Every structure is written in C-alpha cells, then in structure tokens.
Structure 1
Amino acid sequence: MTTIALPSITLLYAAAFALLNLWLSVRVATVRIKGGTMDGHGGDGSLLHKRGRAHANFNEYVPIALVLMLVLELRVGHAAGLWALGAALIVGRLLHPFGLERPAPNPFRMAGILLTWLATLGLALWAIYLAFQPGPAITYF
C-alpha cells in the first residue's frame, strides 16, 4: 500500500490567503460603511474603488496559484521551492493593496505585481516540467 503525505504547505498558505482575503474584505466594508456606499465602488480613483480592485485582484490571482501549489505538493511533497514561491506570493499579495492606494507608479504596487507574477510563473513552469516527467505510481487499495 502506498502512503501519500497530506499537503501541509498548501494548507498553511491557503489558510494565510483566507485570512488575507478576509482582511481585504474588511477594508472594503469599512470604507463602504463610512462613506454610505453600499453598491458599486464610488467612482474611479476613490478609496473604495481602489480597495475593491485590490480585493478583486487578489481573487483573480490567488486561486490558480493555490491550485498549482496543491498539485505540485501532491506530486513532490515538502519542497523548499513551494515554501519560497508561496512566501513570494504572500508578500506580493500583501504589498499590492498598499500600492494601489498610493499614486502610481510606486514600489509597493510594482513589487506586489512582480512577486505575484514571478511566483505564479515559477509554479506554472514547475508544473509544466513535472507534467512531462514520469510520476509515481499510486495504489489506493
């Protein structure tokens, strides 16, 4: 019988991203309540618009990265590369919303974008490489 280690790296990063997503949601809700804007984003350039975009942008990038992390972890186990790419993604997603609230261009936004793109690219290229390598045979019962 083959034993498979459960994906604890992805589990930890998924929990961290869930907390970050909640934080982004609270930031949007706080501005909505203070400004009395319950629908929409209050116009381009408003704080609500910027925070709403940061939240939406997070949800555009993080799910595919987590899927890639999960599949990679199931394939390779506890790899230092997963820790590094996950950390880069977390830092990128933390920097990005602060950058969106500052005049562009600024180092927070640029670093957030670059770290997100590089981490996602690294995960994708690693997954493509592994897709062409012989995988382990697994017997489930």
Structure 2
Amino acid sequence: MFAPVTSFYAGLLALLFIYLSYRVIARRYAARVSIGVGGDPGLERAARVQANCAEYAPMALLLMLLAETSHCPIWAMHLAGLTLLGGRALHAYGVSQPKENLRFRAAGMSMTFFVLAALALFLIVRALAHGWG
C-alpha cells in the first residue's frame, strides 16, 4: 500500500538531513578533521544536530507509515508530519547557534516527542480495537 503523506514528509526530512550532513562535511573540511570533532565546538554542534535528526526522524517516520496504513485521518497525518518537520528544524536551529537558545531546542524536542507519543498512542489503541488475530 502506498503512503503518500508519509512519503512526502520522509522526502522533506531527507532533504533536511542532507542539509545537516552538508554542514558537518563543510565544517570537517574547514577544521581539517576527518573523524570525531577534533575539539572544534562548531563541528561538535553540527555533528550532534545531524545525529539527533538521524536518531529521532526514522522512528517518527516508521510510526507515521504504520499510522497511515492503519487509516489514520489524513488531517492528523499532515499535522504529525508538519509538527515533526517543524520540530526537527527548530531543534536544529537552536542547537546550531554558538550561544544556544534553549527555547528553540526545547520547542523542537517537545514537538518531536508530541508526534512520537500521539502516533504511538493511536497505534496502540488501533491495535487493541482490532484484536490480535
């Protein structure tokens, strides 16, 4: 079954991840560091922003795919996708700043956790409503 909403947000998140990866590569090149962060605070921030996206986006997209194929309403799917994308972007912006603004980081993580929790609860309720067999 094709999941157009999840596919759309997966594509957008992949573009965000490519951008975050490019920033790490550029910072590595500028700092002449091939592995690790070499004590460069800017590289460390860029690497953590990229890694954080890699840690949270796949689980959220998996939950979105399961929810979409379980007939979650399309408006809820778009709400989840927009919230996830916005959360990942806010988190990336907040952590990327040399003088980190914790409001952006906290808002981004809160939005991401909201999506994870909402989709998880939807799937649990859906599974219980349809039984195990």
**Is residue 34 from structure 1 mapped to residue 15 from structure 2 by the alignment?**
no
SS at match of 1:39: coil
How far, CA to CA, are the matches of 2:93 and 2:124 in structure 1?
32
The residue correspondences of 1:3-82 to structure 2 (distance < 5 A) are 6-43=2-39, 46-76=41-71, 79-82=74-77
Identical amino acids, percent of aligned pairs: 35
RCO higher in 1 or 2 (8 Å CA, sep ≥ 6)? 1
How far, CA to CA, are the matches of 2:26 and 2:12 in structure 1?
21
How far, CA to CA, are the matches of 2:101 and 2:107 in structure 1?
11
Q: Which has the higher helix share?
A: 2
Alignment match, 1:130: 126
Unaligned runs of 5+ in 1: 136-141
Aligned alpha-carbon RMSD (Å): 1.6
- Count residues in correspondence: 130
Structure label with greater radius of gyration: 1
TM-score (norm 2): 0.90
Alpha-carbon deviations, 1:20-79, whole Å to 9, x = none? 110110010111111111110123x70100110011111111111111111111110552
Alignment match, 1:92: 87
Output the amino acid matched with 1:15. Answer: G
SS at match of 1:76: coil
